[in-house]
Chains A and B, each alone.
Chain A
Amino acid sequence: MKKLMLGNEAVARGMYEAGCKIVSSYPGTPSTEITEYAAKYDEMYCEWAPNEKVGLEVAFGASLAGARSACCMKHVGLNVAADPLFTMSYTGVNGGLVICVADDPGMHSSQNEQDSRHYAEAAKLPMLEPADSAEAKEFTKLAFELSEEYDTPVLLRMCTRIAHSQSTVELCDRENMPLKEYEKNPKKYIMAPANAITKHPIVEQRQAKLSEYANTCSVNRAEYADSELGIITSGTCYQYVKEILGDSVSILKLGMVNPLPEQLILDFASKAGRLVVIEELDPYIENYCKSLGLKVEGKNILPICGEFSQRMIAEAMGLDVSNYTEAEKLPVRPPVMCAGCPHRGLFYALAKKKITVLGDIGCYTLGSAAPLNAIDSVLCMGASVSGVHGFNKARGKESEGRTVAVIGDSTFMHSGMTGLANIAYNGTNSTVIIVDNSITGMTGHQHNPTTGYNIKGDPATKIDLETLCHALGINRVKVVDPYDLKTTEAVIMEEIAADEPSVIISRRPCALLKSVKLGAPLTVDNDKCRSCKACMRIGCPAISMKGEKAKIDETLCVGCDVCKQLCAFDAIGGAK
């Protein structure tokens, strides 16, 4: 049966067909749907772990126990999971273990543009890179086989365009993979120095064997044409090359990007008059070719930064492309907090009081946008909490009274807790605001340990944030409703002034949750509206000035009532 599948869905299907039993991941665009789709198969146990390191270690434990297992993450998630990753390269596996990592060239939804292939090279792990959904499924299955054959975790590299493009996939049945025998084997699984010293040469030997395999494996494919031009490429770039050049040039399509196939590349290069590597992000394949002494082009004609497209490659190759007129200069449309977003009220209060805000990763990063402009820094998951402590240590008491960290519920569970323990332990009077919208929002509504539900939506242990913060050494823990502007502002001012560390939990479920029922859309009474634009200060996409009067878009407004609290003339009505 043929089915149109998202690349991520195809990876999940590949796991299912390969007999994978355990999947533990943390959501992150563009990788999230892999685990969401995997959870739809009853034959696989799937879970959202609190972070990628936990997820990968869960997958390791399951592999140790003899099950085929997997862990999925976005590129920056692999930084979090890097600690187990590097040493799992030494232990190897029992049941096959596949790590899916999704890069985001062009940074559609990411804070950096790192190239995960460097991890494969640094950790000495094989890495496969599919170029469409059919390959995403097949490569996932191959990854499990290689994992067991070569006794190694295998990386599967996705990118946004493969992860979030649908293409056709042929479905197969699930392979029955009984648990492998578990035997205690300290030399293999206890990576204390004495054992690790013996394992390192084995890793090097494995790399050498995999290099041999890479020369002949079916996923590395030379497509020869009667042409002087030879292109080496992989992943989505292969599709762009085929789109513009079809069968007119020779192409070496690499499905395995670590280790790279030395002999295959040398053979291919020997038949090409002009050799060009077409790869997004870093000159990874190109540098390898150069290390082989090959004369090769790549980043001299195509950029390191950003995403490619077929036209960009055509232009770089000097092909004729159709002319077009640039669009007129138009207002940009950046992402914004949704109408009714509970984060809005909180950031309004912070902006109004001109408080320095160390932000974090999630929907609430959008508090940095105009008109609120309420955030001073965003680095990585959890950095707000650790950062505010450092900021306050550096600037002292004056800073403690005007600086906060803002972090989401899921991000706090991911890597905010340790930072909070540090605040309590090493003592700054820092204020940490946990914006608890009862869900992992930006990645599309995944549950986390504070929501009370698991990945399937079944009830699960709900970790109580107040109790947790107390346990981490924080005595002052206040809860506010960010829809209540006055109280929110008052509590913030009280807590930043406090002579001890404190946590404010700004609690309101995400307005997009199906369970959330707010009021009817609000309306503006034109007779009462004095055009003062006070309601515009919160940056709600549902409110605009039409002519002289404020207007509320009925298709967007969810009746949260926040704008109503800003109107001094009682012009906004309806709802509650």
Chain B
Amino acid sequence: MKTTNIMIVGVGGQGSLLASKLLGNLLLDQGYDVKVSEVHGMSQRGGSVVTYVKFGERVYSPIIDRCEADFIVAFEGLEAARYVPNLAQGGRFIVNTQQIDPMPVITGAAEYPVDIIDRLQDSLSNVDAIDALALAKEAGSVKAVNMVLMGRLSKYMSIPEEKWIDAIKKSVAPKFTQMNIKAFTLGRK
């Protein structure tokens, strides 16, 4: 059985660590060998953050290299564009249309690329763009962007919805469970 590779990319502070934790536990419960590689420390401070989730019969390397990602879940447009080379042939790209300016753009040293989502959709065949921030707000918190995106990812995976819901319940504090499930459900639609 081939290993399935999921990359989660975004901006430090967007909640990608929680998403990867949720995925890891969900996949382990499905009986797979799983590896999840995270980034801590300096790069978390608003920097470009990458998390790798890999599952299969036996997973060796914890990282996902060029042309290896079966799924890329991008929490932000510019970060999506940055990791295009990692997408495998026929891989699925899920992109949050949210734009977060990096410091070089804020200071005027660089410009945020125009029409970045449109261009992704033009150049790749399997791009699913979603306004996860709007759906997260609808669910009750801008912080639930991660659950909206997990909801969208779940559409493309064969794991039953109730297993995802169970995993969410195990990964978030009880008082936020309903809000996170709502965000997940909105993303899955």
Residue among A6, A322, A541, A545 making CB contact with B103, cutoff 8 Å: A541
B188 to chain A, nearest CB (A): 22
The residues of B that contact A366 with a CB separation of less than 8 Å are: 45
- In the complex, the answer to whether A541 meets B44 with C-beta atoms within 8 Å is no
Considering the chains assembled together, what is the distance between the CA atoms of A142 and B84 in angstroms?
Answer: 43
Contact present for B40 and A330 (CB under 8 Å): no
Given the complex, which residues of A lie within 8 Å of B1, measured CB to CB? none
B163 within 8 A of A: no
The distance from the CB of A107 to the nearest CB of chain B, in whole angstroms, is: 9
Q: Nearest Cβ distance between residue B149 and chain A, in whole angstroms?
A: 15
A576 close to chain B: CB less than 8 A: no
Report A371 CB to chain B, min CB distance, Å.
Answer: 4
Residue of A nearest to B10 (CB): A333
Interface pair B45/A336, CB less than 8 Å apart: yes
Contact: B85 with A326, CB < 8 Å? yes
Q: Tell me, in angstroms, the Cα distance from A168 to B63 when the chains sit together.
A: 16
A474 located at the interface, meaning its Cβ lies under 8 Å from any Cβ of chain B in the complex:
no
Query: Are B47 and A333 closer than 8 Å at their CB atoms?
Result: yes
- Whether A332 lies near B61 (C-beta < 8 A) is no
B66 within 8 A of A: yes
A363 and B45 within 8 A (CB): yes
Q: Which residues of A contact B60 (CB under 8 A)?
A: 239-240, 242-243
Task: Give the most central of B47, B60, B112: most A CB within 10 Å.
Answer: B60
Determine if A322 and B38 form an interchain contact, defined as CB atoms under 8 angstroms apart: no
Which residues on B sit within 8 Å (CB–CB) of A333?
11, 46-48, 78-79, 82, 102-103
Task: Convert A7-30 into 0s and 1s, putting 1 for each residue whose CB lies closer than 8 angstroms to a CB of B.
Answer: 000000000000000000000011
- Which residues in chain B, 6-44, are within 8 Å of chain A measured between CB atoms? 11-13, 24-25, 28, 33-44
Cβ of B168 < 8 Å from any Cβ of A?
no
Taking a contact as CB atoms closer than 8 A, the residue among B36, B37, B109 that contacts A370 in the complex is: B109
Interface 1/0s, chain B 109-123, versus A by CB < 8 A?
Answer: 111110000000000
A81 at the interface (CB under 8 A from B): no
A interface, over-half SS: loop
- Which residues of chain A come closer than 8 Å to B186, judged between CB atoms? none
Q: What 0/1 readout, one digit per residue, does chain B (94-106) give for beta carbons within 8 Å of chain A?
A: 0000001111111
Which partner residue on chain B sits nearest A111 by CB separation? B42
- Chain A residues with CB under 8 Å of B45's CB are 335-338, 363, 366, 442
Q: Which of B128-166 contact A (CB under 8 A)?
A: 133, 142
A109 with B40, Cβ < 8 A, contacts A4-B25, A327-B85, A539-B103 known: yes
Report whether A166 and B34 are in contact in the complex, using a CB–CB cutoff of 8 Å.
yes
Contacting residues, chain B, for A165 (C-beta < 8 A) = 35-38, 62
Select one of A164, A335, A337, A539 contacting B107, CB under 8 A: A539
Closest A residue, CB atoms, query B133:
A555
Give the docked Cα–Cα distance between A7 and B127 (Å).
Answer: 34
Q: A243-B60, A310-B65 are in contact. Are A331 and B102 (CB under 8 A)?
A: yes
B40 touches A30 (CB 8 A): yes
A335 touches B40 (CB 8 A): no
Q: How far apart are B107's CB and chain A's nearest CB, in angstroms?
A: 4
Chain A positions 233 through 245: 1 when the CB is less than 8 Å from some CB of chain B, otherwise 0: 0001001101100
Smallest CB gap from B34: residue in A: A4
Contact yes or no, A331 B105, CB < 8 A: yes
Q: How far is the CA of A236 from the CA of B59 in the complex (A)?
A: 12
Instruction: Indicate with 1 or 0, residue by residue over B156-189, a CB within 8 angstroms of chain A CB atoms.
Output: 0000000000000000000000000000000000
A108 touches B42 (CB 8 A): yes
A531-B188 Cα distance, complex, nearest whole Å: 41
A108 in contact with B41 given A331-B110, A338-B13 (CB within 8 Å): yes
Q: Which residues of B contact A (CB under 8 A)?
A: 11-13, 24-25, 28, 33-48, 59-63, 65-68, 78-79, 81-85, 89, 100-113, 133, 142
| Top 3 A-B pairs, shortest CB-CB distance | A109-B41, A29-B41, A335-B47
Listed A/B pairs (13) with beta-carbon separation below 8 Å: A2-B28, A109-B42, A132-B35, A167-B33, A240-B61, A323-B67, A327-B83, A330-B82, A335-B46, A336-B103, A443-B41, A536-B108, A539-B103
Residues of A within 8 A of B (CB): 2-4, 6, 29-30, 32-33, 108-109, 132, 161, 164-168, 236, 239-240, 242-243, 309-311, 321-328, 330-338, 363, 366, 369-371, 442-444, 536, 539-541, 543-545, 553-556
Q: A161-B63, A335-B42 are in contact. List 17 more A-B contacts (CB 8 A).
A: A4-B24, A4-B34, A30-B41, A108-B41, A165-B35, A236-B61, A239-B60, A242-B61, A325-B85, A334-B104, A337-B45, A338-B45, A371-B106, A536-B107, A541-B100, A543-B106, A544-B105
